[in-house]
Amino acid sequence: MIHFVGFRGNEFWSAVKIFGQPDFFHRVFDQRAKAEFMDGDVVVFANGVEDKFSQFVFDDSAVF
């Protein structure tokens, strides 16, 4: 599975060109996103997002 974390705007499309469409999209790097990462998954972080772990959980499904 491919996870995109924290992408906004044009950088999303740049990542799609390299990795293909993501199976999961996480708006923020939080415990909920981290719990979905499994061994063998590819996790692609937007620039600087991996250093911004949020202690608060964001409900990604509420945005779609």
Q: Are 64 and 27 in contact (CB under 8 A)?
A: no
| Cα–Cα dist 40/14, whole Å | 22
- Per-residue model confidence (pLDDT) at position 52: 81
Per-domain boundaries in the chain: 2-58
What confidence tens digit (pLDDT) does each residue in 7-46 have?
988 899 999 999 999 999 998 888 889 899 999 999 999 9
In 1-64, alpha helices (H) = 10-19, 31-36
| Cα–Cα dist 1/63, whole Å | 21
Tokens of 6: 């924290």
